[in-house]
Structure 1
């Protein structure tokens, strides 16, 4: 007779899942035993066990991002479940379908202060779109199906709690019975289209606009052709949120990449001047970079209705899938004949790319220019590359210099912006697309968190990958650099070395210890050859790039507050004042020269602040 665990494993497969990310423990022991039996019988799941439960949850989230499937992670009771929380919040805040299966002590232990018994439903109630403990075999089917269905529809993590004794109880086919739900492993369609009247109203708003901007997020994934067709008819410029990079190819001339502190000047100018804003599958959180209230008529299209009209006062909210909605909208759009707005965006992007190249080719006395690392990577990206970026200045350089072409993938922890995610994201990408080259870009602070551990996971599993090429570049500057700059620019505080310094480690040596290729880069001239060698290596390569900690992540538009706070922080005896002044001066001068060369428009605010 099959057990509840046997049934749950079979049901997970019926939901289209073939791979799970788990870490064992006694609270989930019966279920783990069933996983092992199913795998031996060749009827189980591909079980990946990294080095920490947090990594399990981050890998499940990344799997959802890179495949569109439901990611599944498994952990034992209290400590294991608690460790998964950060990764589950990543899924929640980036709207990803994930199901977590968490062990629990036996039913009789609940509420008795037993070891590792805690109120898990209460713990997961904030992060989960659905959380439920399975209390009997008859309940298991409905709980599993509801968890998967809810994760898909509400785009977030669902949690199934399995007490240890319930895991081993016998499971019988369900019969008609009061209080017993007989459910199905069938997901509802999310190809939702708004009513025709709303579609026509949206078209009339866009048709009336003379300066239309599309702000495109990861929620538009799979709708690349529709986004481009609509933008061409509307004469629109396109901005992508950081997680929407892969949606719009970089070679589209009127795609001005990202917005905000790690965005481009053409994107800033679009938001400053547009008269119509169309938000497609994005919950872009930085309202200070959106148009002034009343400046632009705005439309938002999203599958998350609670997030519509939240960042900007929209005139029309369309609850729908971006691809399906645009399919219905495009026939109603009038083809613009005046493309001056779109051409302006394209021309400014040419000038911006020149500025980014000039910034990347600067040299500094205190280490490799981190921009150069990303600039040279971008020139060498294979057609099927997957790039992951970490939080911090890694994300700045990713936004400024990585240009994803059609067919490439790239992602990071978005709204949560948790450190260390780049490494489990990259490893998860290798499991999901083992034939593709994957490049992980990560800072030394994040790499020391759990990233170094995950090289052990890579060593354990890389033989399963069709193409073993995985490249990790560590920005080795011995500093939690993003926070250091935030201390200066946001709070006018000098860097506090006690909190900010990162112990220097031979990261290339650590890779070599595990049998991988390690490359040390100490000068800018060594960067191109390092990338060439890494891409020529059919295996795992770690590039240990000794970068400057003082290169400023300059926003495209420097505000007076940014400049004043930085100056005040340096006057308070910042330990790196001399290097920061030298490196910042070089970067700012280069920025000014390039903008004069490009004859970019400089508004009154820019004149005053310069």
Structure 2
């Protein structure tokens, strides 16, 4: 006799959910039985921890554009999902969570594992409801999927165990209160009003130095952004979540912005007179032009976020691709290309600076060289992930993405831990595409190492093309160490920042994978060649120098003062920090002088 649990899975299947990331528990026993009877559609992917399952569901949504789905039992299992679900919420990804609950008869009795998931999930979920009757399941699943897809957010359905095991009711009784819903989601086409488009065109046509900033909301508007940039003679900077919007081999793409950014992006922003935001809500005002310097145009499908980062003169509420297509015929091609030429010169200079920095001596290995060498070897159509930490800086700056590559990270939550499960989820979705994760040793110790066991379980499906985890071993929670210095004026506290040295490559070998350890600059290129040519999953452990600073494109006065204070207070790495940080900034000065000389000669 089919149960409510069977119907829930069937309804999710109708919504295009064919893979659920979840961990078992007695609060979802009936759903597990239904998954067994579902014969692999939807299939259950069992991670080592519920948090990893919710990260995987978020990554599935990010990399496929489909609805992500995760599942957890009542009590602790439900609590464990939250971090990954907040990642989905803050990065606007459609994810549905199915959460178990104790039987209805026990609720309110302080029963074992009884928590209040409605209250717990109210902030992370735009829609959260408990299924109190089998006939309610249909409309709850339908509403949850509609809300998640339409608003690009998290929705949660809580299923008490006794409801899950009752006989299914595919249709509610025809009585007052019965609700009849439909599965299926139709995408909408949203474009701004004509007068607002005209206003935006006037602003952009009048501007002489236009700077474009794109985020993940512009992901489907690559060709349109290119056409706009060409007409306006503009440069284009990218947020971390917008990395794949434009390829980095375009000469006017200035790359990342902010603390993880490039000098080219910083110079463009500080000298622009007009801003165009496309599909982004970049929050850091200190990396944008001073208020009043620029006129602005913003494109975003969410009107609630319009003009909340910089004062905008035209606010275009609509999808990025559709809106740009309406706007492009109104734009005039700027005959003066001096602004574009200046930007392209700064971009060229930035890439030379990165090359110089990557080849600085370090003890034992420069982390920038690791990513620099990978960038030259990136396979076509690869998927790139990373984790929170200083490794995200090198990932953002040194990887030169080409068309067809995908890249993402936990952007707005910036939480530790998603780099490894993101890559695993991408590999399930695209088994033939190379997937490469760059992760710090802190994040890998926190939860990444055990997810290699997940790979071992599903190895027959995950070894058809490269799957590489590059672990940056510096024995330091490096990003926080630098933040202590630059933001807190505190010297490094080894008691909180040092972490145990672990043989990551040997751990991979223990599981039957390829493990490679590299600690010399002369061998890092060949190490990447071995990793990319290996059969099956690979852990490439790189022993890197923790004293190489993730120097921002422009050092703010207060940051410099606080770092100086930390060094005066006896930071254990003072001398290395001073020498290596000064050398990094010297490369910028040297390349700037060379660029000026080349301009004078021409």
Normalized against structure 1, the TM-score is what?
Answer: 0.96
Query: Which of 239, 251, 254 is matched with 2:252 structurally?
Result: 254
Matched, 1:508 2:505: yes
Instruction: Provide Cα deviations, 1:353-394, integer angstroms capped at 9, x if missing partner.
Output: 000100001112x22000000000000001111111111111
Query: Runs (4+) of structure 1 moved beyond 3 Å?
Result: none
Task: Please state how far the C-alpha of 1:269 moved relative to its aligned partner.
Answer: 1.2
Task: Please state how far the C-alpha of 1:46 moved relative to its aligned partner.
Answer: 2.0
Counterpart of 1:328? 326
Counterpart of 1:599? 596
Task: Please state how far the C-alpha of 1:466 moved relative to its aligned partner.
Answer: 6.4
Counterpart of 2:294? 296
Counterpart of 1:318? 316
Task: Please state how far the C-alpha of 1:565 moved relative to its aligned partner.
Answer: 1.3
Structure 1 residues 283 and 439: alpha-carbon distance in aligned structure 2, compared to 1, 3 A threshold: same
Match of 1:161, SS state, is: strand
The 5 A counterparts of 1:416-455 are 416-455=413-452
Instruction: Provide Cα deviations, 1:244-300, integer angstroms capped at 9, x if missing partner.
Output: 110101111111011111111111111111121111111111111111111111122
Counterpart of 2:14? 14
CA RMSD of aligned residues (A): 1.4
In 2, distance between residues paired with 1:131 and 1:234? Answer: 45
Q: How many residues in Structure 1 have an aligned counterpart in Structure 2?
A: 597
Instruction: Provide Cα deviations, 1:469-526, integer angstroms capped at 9, x if missing partner.
Output: 2111110000000000111111110000000001000000000100111111111111
Check conservation: 2:463, 2:536, Cα contact below 8 A.
no
Check conservation: 1:359, 1:591, Cα contact below 8 A.
no
Counterpart of 1:552? 549
Q: For structure 1, list consecutive stretches of 5 or more residues without a partner in the other structure.
A: 602-610
Counterpart of 2:180? 182
In 2, distance between residues paired with 1:489 and 1:60? Answer: 35
Counterpart of 1:38? 38
Counterpart of 2:2? 2
Query: Which of 317, 340, 343 is matched with 2:338 structurally?
Result: 340
In 1, distance between residues paired with 2:227 and 2:11? Answer: 40
Task: Please state how far the C-alpha of 1:600 moved relative to its aligned partner.
Answer: 9.7
The 5 A counterparts of 1:429-578 are 429-465=426-462, 467-578=464-575
Instruction: Provide Cα deviations, 1:215-247, integer angstroms capped at 9, x if missing partner.
Output: 100111111111111221122211111111101
Match of 1:257, SS state, is: strand
Task: Please state how far the C-alpha of 1:554 moved relative to its aligned partner.
Answer: 0.7
Check conservation: 1:257, 1:267, Cα contact below 8 A.
yes
Counterpart of 1:152? 149
In 1, distance between residues paired with 2:425 and 2:53? Answer: 9
Counterpart of 1:604? none
In 1, distance between residues paired with 2:577 and 2:211? Answer: 36
In 2, distance between residues paired with 1:205 and 1:586? Answer: 41
Counterpart of 1:218? 216
Counterpart of 1:410? 407
Check conservation: 1:469, 1:539, Cα contact below 8 A.
yes
Match of 2:360, SS state, is: coil
Moved more, 170-179 or 260-269: 170-179
Check conservation: 1:260, 1:286, Cα contact below 8 A.
yes
Task: Please state how far the C-alpha of 1:134 moved relative to its aligned partner.
Answer: 0.7
Counterpart of 1:359? 357
Structure 1 residues 468 and 251: alpha-carbon distance in aligned structure 2, compared to 1, 3 A threshold: closer
Q: For structure 2, list consecutive stretches of 5 or more residues without a partner in the other structure.
A: none
Check conservation: 2:463, 2:535, Cα contact below 8 A.
no
Match of 2:433, SS state, is: coil
Counterpart of 1:605? none
Task: Please state how far the C-alpha of 1:430 moved relative to its aligned partner.
Answer: 0.3
Structure 1 residues 529 and 262: alpha-carbon distance in aligned structure 2, compared to 1, 3 A threshold: same
In 2, distance between residues paired with 1:297 and 1:466? Answer: 51
Task: Please state how far the C-alpha of 1:194 moved relative to its aligned partner.
Answer: 1.6
In 1, distance between residues paired with 2:5 and 2:462? Answer: 29
Match of 1:440, SS state, is: strand
Normalized against structure 2, the TM-score is what?
Answer: 0.97
Instruction: Provide Cα deviations, 1:64-95, integer angstroms capped at 9, x if missing partner.
Output: 00000110000001101100000000001101
Counterpart of 1:282? 280
Counterpart of 1:165? 162
In 2, distance between residues paired with 1:435 and 1:301? Answer: 35
The 5 A counterparts of 1:232-271 are 232-271=230-269
Moved more, 74-83 or 290-299: 290-299
Instruction: Provide Cα deviations, 1:439-460, integer angstroms capped at 9, x if missing partner.
Output: 1100000000010001101111
Check conservation: 2:466, 2:533, Cα contact below 8 A.
no
The 5 A counterparts of 1:89-104 are 89-104=86-101
Task: Please state how far the C-alpha of 1:7 moved relative to its aligned partner.
Answer: 1.1
Match of 1:256, SS state, is: strand
Task: Please state how far the C-alpha of 1:200 moved relative to its aligned partner.
Answer: 2.1
Matched, 1:88 2:107: no
Match of 2:563, SS state, is: helix
Instruction: Provide Cα deviations, 1:122-148, integer angstroms capped at 9, x if missing partner.
Output: 000011111111111121111111111
Match of 1:187, SS state, is: coil
